[in-house]
Amino acid sequence: MEHVETFVYNLASGRTLEDLKAAVERTQGEFLSGCNGFLERRLIQLKPDQFLEMNRWASEADFQKAMSEAQQHEAVALLMSVIDMDSLTPYHGDLLISYAN
């Protein structure tokens, strides 16, 4: 069953939208694109310094494996340095219904 993870977070003090975009692009190119079961990533700006990130996975097992590997990855550490970790609110669960045109 497809698994979806979302994170709502603010930028860390002194960080910019350009810092975030660069870190997201780096984690995509150096980490997520090589993860088994990774399907899609979206970054949505909610407020000037608040963002929602959504990632789709083929399964929860693929998501869990990637999260265990993320802990040691340099590109992921860079992304974490751009995020105010006190503001980070993660949600994840199994996709029940999806519609698209």
Give me the pLDDT at residue 71, please. 87
CA 78-51-72 angle, 5° bins: 25
Segments forming the whole domain that contains residue 23: 3-92
Residue 46 covered by a domain: yes
- Global confidence as pTM: 0.91
The total of other beta-carbon atoms located within 10 Å of residue 85's CB is 10
Q: In the predicted model, what is the mean pLDDT of residues 41-52?
A: 97
DSSP secondary structure string for all residues of 41-84? EEEEEEETTEEEEEEEES-HHHHHHHHHHHTT-HHHHHHHHHB-
Determine contact, residues 60/2, Cβ cutoff 8 Å: no
What radius of gyration, in Å, describes the C-alpha atoms of the chain? Answer: 13
Number of domains in the chain: 1
Residue 36: the pLDDT is 97
Q: What is the pLDDT of residues 56-84, one digit of tens each?
A: 999 999 999 999 999 899 999 999 999 99
98 in any annotated domain: no
**CATH code at 53?**
3.30.70.100
Res. 12 pLDDT band, cuts 50 70 90: very high
Question: What pLDDT, on the 0 to 100 scale, is given for residue 73?
Answer: 94
pLDDT over 90 (residue 9): yes
Residue 97 covered by a domain: no
